[in-house]
Structure 1
Amino acid sequence: MNLVIAAIIVVLLVCAFRLYRLATRLDRLHRRTEAAWAALDVALARRSGVARALAAAGDLAPAVATTLAAAARRTEDAGDRTRRADAENELTRLLEQLPTPPDSSVADELAETAQRVLLARRFYNDAVRDTRALRADRFSRMFRLAGRASLPDYFEIAEYNPSRPLNRVSARVLMIDDADRVLLFQGGDPQLPGDRFWFTPGGGVEAGEDLLGAAQRELTEETRMRLPRTAFAGPVWWRRSRFTFSGQDYEQTEYFFVAAPPADAAVHHDGFTEVERSYIHGEEWWAADALAATGDVVYPLQLTARLPEAVKLLREVTGGRGPAVPPEPTQID
């Protein structure tokens, strides 16, 4: 009898543990879905704002501008997500029919907002898929683990993806430690399974930022290493690149700074955005000989050959042995 009771207790404990884990995971998925929708809502609102600004700029025919502004307002006034999807599709249709804006900055802004909407919608729908799948679990349904939470619905709208490449200026950091190793992230296009390459920390320059400020901010966001502006030297290199990421074409100009990490610094990823979490898979400190021996793709392409040059520049700057950084950055591939 005691064995039977013990067995029943064990079974109940196992079931209780599984229910606890399911409930915790389900709660986490619901929170993720809500956060993803908030990000998508912000991206859609930004697209609407850009559309209204374009309508008010005076470059469109009056009738076209009026129609575009009205469509943008309808996306903002939609009372539910079904009406919101219809309104967003109408705005997409109108944007696709517009000629390329004469102001290239407006065209770039439209392309950037389209990319943000595309990625945010995919993140939201991925969260909805995972939440609905877990709620369909037998235990979830039997014990009503979702409580009164409504079942999330997919948000399906037509994707607006301008063919014009998005022009972008990027500030990147050659973070070199005391062992002359450079910090590289490994990433890949989320739409291309198996795509892998190595690249330096850094990212796009935001409105109102200078190159050095962008390099400082991106390094902090991506690694949690906080360095003063005086810790960066450069830019020492620059390059132009054209690439496609998540279906969007980019024309990017990159500027590279050199810096040394703080003592006993560790790389932390808690500052990553959802987009960065989708394509950055890890990091590694690379020595020049290891870079020369690897068969992996590394950006910039000349990093392997020019890393000793970057190390020398950094050592001369940190050692106080005169102006090592050239007045103009060197162009590389």
Structure 2
Amino acid sequence: MGVKVLAVTLVLLVLVGLWLVSRARRVDRLHRQVEQARVVMFNHLKTRRQILKTALNDGSFGADFPSDELAQLLATAPAGQSGHTGASESDISAWLVRVWDQVERENPQIAQKLRTNGFELRAARRFYNQQVAQVVRLRSQPDVRMFHLAGRAPMPEPFDFDDEAPGA
């Protein structure tokens, strides 16, 4: 009888171990997906800044265009760098919405690039935040917390800013 109990206990321990390994792999996979989504989102933010910076440096806009305000906005820390905040991206979005008619009138090619980038940026931010929500939901489950299946990975945080696409 003792051998049977030992065998059943051993089988149960192996099954629980395999289950925990599969949960740890899921947590790891979700963390990697969050990081990839963050990179994509920050690349879209950098692209938007680059489009605006190029237009500003090329003199693509008329004399009455608020170029000084744009230069100040672009001087804030870009995505992925220390000091970068969602507030600075919200300021750029709000500025774009405010001057959108003038941008479209003075440079339709830049307007089209910014419109496309705006839609891609909105999708990337939403996807990133959905991935973060999945990680938070999974990491809040008792088994993940009790067995420290997330290891030392920091808890990802949503990235919120005003991503209103101009011309939408």
TM range (shorter): 0.7 to 0.9
Aligned residue in 1 for 2:96: 95
Give the Cα separation in 2 of the matches to 1:69 and 1:108.
21
The CA RMSD measured in Å over matched residues stands at 1.9
Aligned residue in 2 for 1:127: 131
Give the Cα separation in 2 of the matches to 1:41 and 1:148.
24
Aligned residue in 2 for 1:331: none
Aligned residue in 2 for 1:79: 82
How many Å apart are 1:67 and its aligned residue?
1.0
Structure 1 residues 50-59 or 85-94, which shifts more? 50-59
Identity across aligned pairs (percent)? 27
Aligned residue in 2 for 1:39: 40
How many Å apart are 1:66 and its aligned residue?
1.3
Letter in 2 for 1:24: R
Which one has the bigger helix percentage? 2
How many Å apart are 1:162 and its aligned residue?
2.2
Distance 1:23 1:3, change over 3 A: same
Give the Cα separation in 2 of the matches to 1:35 and 1:48.
20
Give CA-to-partner distance per residue, 1:146-187, whole Å, 9 cap, x none: 1111000000111221236xxxxxxxxxxxxxxxxxxxxxxx
Instruction: Using structure 1 for the length normalisation, give the TM-score.
Output: 0.46
Letter in 1 for 2:132: V
Which one has the bigger strand percentage? 1
Which runs of structure 2 are paired with 1:240-279 in the superposition (5 Å)? none
Equivalent residue for 2:109, pick from 84, 89, 105: 105
Large movers: runs of 4+ above 3 Å: 60-63
Letter in 2 for 1:15: V
Gap regions ≥5 residues in structure 1: 165-333
Aligned residue in 2 for 1:30: 31
How many Å apart are 1:23 and its aligned residue?
0.8
Aligned residue in 2 for 1:66: 68
Give the Cα separation in 1 of the matches to 2:56 and 2:63.
9
Letter in 2 for 1:30: H
Aligned residue in 2 for 1:150: 154
Larger Rg: 1
Give the Cα separation in 1 of the matches to 2:54 and 2:35.
29
Tell me if structure 2 keeps the 8 A contact 1:23–1:145. Answer: yes
Tell me if structure 2 keeps the 8 A contact 1:48–1:75. Answer: no
Which structure is richer in relative contact order (CA contacts within 8 A, separation 6 or more)?
2
Instruction: Using structure 2 for the length normalisation, give the TM-score.
Output: 0.88
**Aligned residue pairs, count:** 162
Q: Secondary structure, in 3 states, of the residue corresponding to 2:66? A: helix
Structure 1 residues 57-66 or 14-23, which shifts more? 57-66
How many Å apart are 1:60 and its aligned residue?
4.4
Give the Cα separation in 2 of the matches to 1:75 and 1:115.
22
Which runs of structure 2 are paired with 1:286-301 in the superposition (5 Å)? none
Q: Secondary structure, in 3 states, of the residue corresponding to 2:75? A: helix
Gap regions ≥5 residues in structure 2: none
Letter in 1 for 2:68: T
Equivalent residue for 1:139, pick from 134, 139, 143: 143
Distance 1:76 1:60, change over 3 A: farther
Tell me if structure 2 keeps the 8 A contact 1:51–1:69. Answer: no
Give the Cα separation in 2 of the matches to 1:60 and 1:130.
46
Which runs of structure 2 are paired with 1:155-166 in the superposition (5 Å)? 155-163=159-167
Give CA-to-partner distance per residue, 1:219-263, whole Å, 9 cap, x none: xxxxxxxxxxxxxxxxxxxxxxxxxxxxxxxxxxxxxxxxxxxxx
Tell me if structure 1 keeps the 8 A contact 2:136–2:156. Answer: yes
